[in-house]
Structure 1
Amino acid sequence: MAESYEVVLQEVPVKGLFALLKELEGISERVGDLVVSEGLEGSRCEGGFCENLVNAFSSYEGSVCMAEKLFRFRVSKDDFLSSVLLRVVKYEGRVDVEMSFDSFIDLDVGFVMLAFQEISNALSRRFHVKDCYGGLEPAVDVDTRYFTNGLLGPLSLRKNKLDS
């Protein structure tokens, strides 16, 4: 059975949300269809997220989710994930950006999660994100994390001890 992995940018300020999403789209070679859980004005965007949609998402009063697939997501100069599901979730006035992928990848998961840690930390600093973490889905479980912000998590440490 394939395992699923998740990386979360928690409490993303809406001020930089559009730029952050475009940066994530830019890491991939191709963007899939965009799906929105509610009928937001401006929800018809060509080629990924558009500013009108992100503004409507940000001002929406209730809970809402947007999702798209990112194809050939670059995790290093020469390494790609075939696809990453990008979700943007607004709940209780907060916005999280979540990326998930399955373990059927050809790359070492530890390597991929370290790459996501670098990407997430850089985005967090640039866009003033509260926290970032990654691990087995659901990554909210601290016992199955590869990283939390700049720190390695229990799964990274276990894997490193097994490699020794």
Structure 2
Amino acid sequence: MSNLLEIVFEGVAKSSVIPLLMQIINDPKNICSIDCSENISFATKNIFDPQFLNAVLEHDGDICLFLHLESLGINTEILPLVLLRIIKYGYQYDIDFSFDINKTEKTDMASLIKNLFSYASKLANDFVVVNYYGGMEPASDTNTRYFTNDKLGPLLP
């Protein structure tokens, strides 16, 4: 089984993509690098530049924006070395993040999962995301999930 844990927000409304992204990032100093699957010509790939983000959202075709974060604060947890992605396919938008559970300082997996579940549930509620889930990568596999929407399981520590 993979050591990567993934949290996915599917079908994010276009109007919620940027606010949800900013809520997850929280502190711009945590961004190590930004990459994009497509060549978007901008002088700088500044995630806090509305023109850059709008260019990604308005891109004519599918696109993925990769943000490499030094860390991500989740309630009482600090997750090191997180990959955050915005994926646009057609007119759909997904946001996900993943990290290596072996790199976390937390040894209590049950507490980590509860914090992630609480965090994801709050974000989904705040930004009206109907479908969200978390599990071992790939979390799209329902057998490797710790939670799906507001329900825990089938994997539990």
Query: What band does the TM-score fall into relative to the shorter chain?
Result: 0.7 to 0.9
For residue 98 of structure 1, report the CA deviation from its aligned partner: 0.8
Other structure's SS at 1:80 match = strand
Query: How many residues are aligned here?
Result: 155
3-state SS of 1:16 partner = helix
Provide the rounded CA distance (Å) in 1 between the counterparts of 2:62 and 2:4. 24
Secondary structure, counterpart of 2:139 in structure 1: coil
Corresponding position of 2:36: 36
The DSSP-based 3-state class of the residue aligned with 1:99 is strand
Listed as ranges, the gaps of 5+ residues in structure 1 are 160-164
Contact 1:142 1:153 in 2 (8 A): no
> Which residue in the other structure is 1:154 paired with?
154
Give the whole-Å Cα distance in 2 for the aligned partners of 1:114 and 1:29. Answer: 26
Where does structure 1 differ by over 3 angstroms across 4 or more consecutive aligned residues?
A: none
Q: How far has the Cα of 1:30 moved from its partner?
A: 1.3
Indicate the percent of aligned positions where both proteins have the same amino acid. 30
Which whole-Å deviations, capped at 9, do the CAs of 1:18-42 have from their partners, x for residues lacking one?
Answer: 1111111106861111111112254
Is this contact kept in 2: 1:34–1:49, CA < 8 A? no
Q: Does 1:70 align with 2:69?
A: yes
Which amino acid in the other structure matches residue 51 of structure 1?
P
**TM-score w.r.t. length of structure 2:** 0.88
Aligned-pair CA distance for 1:142 = 0.8
Superposed CA RMSD: 2.0
Which residue pairs with 2:86 in the alignment?
88
Aligned partners of 2:28, 2:142: CA distance in 1, in Å?
28
CA distance in 1, matches of 2:140, 2:2: 19
Alignment of 1:1-164 (within 5 A): 3-26=3-26, 30-42=30-42, 44-46=44-46, 48-77=47-76, 79-104=77-102, 105-107=104-106, 108-156=108-156, 159=157
Once the two structures are superposed, residues 58-87 of structure 1 have per-residue CA deviations (whole angstroms, 9 ceiling, x without a partner) of 21121100011222311233x311121101
Is the alpha carbon distance of 1:74 and 1:61 closer, same or farther for their aligned partners in structure 2, counting shifts above 3 Å?
same
Is 2:75–2:119's contact at 8 Å kept on the other side of the alignment? no
Rounded to whole Å, the distance in 1 between the matches of 2:117 and 2:9 is 10
Which whole-Å CA distance do the structure 1 matches of 2:5 and 2:125 have between them? 23
DSSP 3-state at the match of 2:33:
coil
